């Protein structure tokens, strides 16, 4: 069974840079001046990890569904 991730874009942190939509256009979409995750739970996806790591505002939270461990943003 594939690893599942919960993906959130924190609206209070997102500034609409568009990096996430450029890196993983099928996982993030523009929502007004901000972005949002297309689906709240996905199979693990390296592009989502890249988007979370590249977000200049650390607005993307990725949580391992099985354990509840926060993968991104990293502390």
Domain CATH number, residue 56: 3.30.70.20
pLDDT of residue 46: 97
Residue 58 pLDDT > 80: yes
Q: Pairing state of beta strands 4-9 and 41-43?
A: antiparallel
The mean pLDDT value for 40-63 works out to: 98
Please state the domain count of the chain.
Answer: 1
CB 66 within 8 A of CB 4: yes
Q: Return mean pLDDT, the chain.
A: 96
End-to-end CA distance of the chain: 28
Q: Identify the domain containing residue 54 by its residue range.
A: 4-72
Residue 75 pLDDT > 80: no
Picking from 56, 52, 61, the residue whose alpha carbon sits closest to that of residue 17 is: 56
Q: Which strands form 41-43's sheet, in the order they lie side by side?
A: 41-43, 4-9, 60-64, 70-72
Confidence tier at 57 by pLDDT (50, 70, 90): very high
């Amino acid at each position: 069974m594939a690893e599942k991730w919960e993906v959130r874009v924190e609206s209070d942190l997102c500034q609409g840079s568009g990096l996430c939509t450029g890196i993983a256009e099928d996982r993030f979409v523009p929502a007004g001046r901000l972005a949002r995750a297309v689906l709240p739970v996905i199979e693990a996806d390296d592009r989502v990890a890249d988007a979370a790591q590249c977000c200049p505002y650390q607005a993307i939270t990725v949580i391992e569904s099985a354990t509840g461990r926060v993968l991104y943003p990293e502390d």
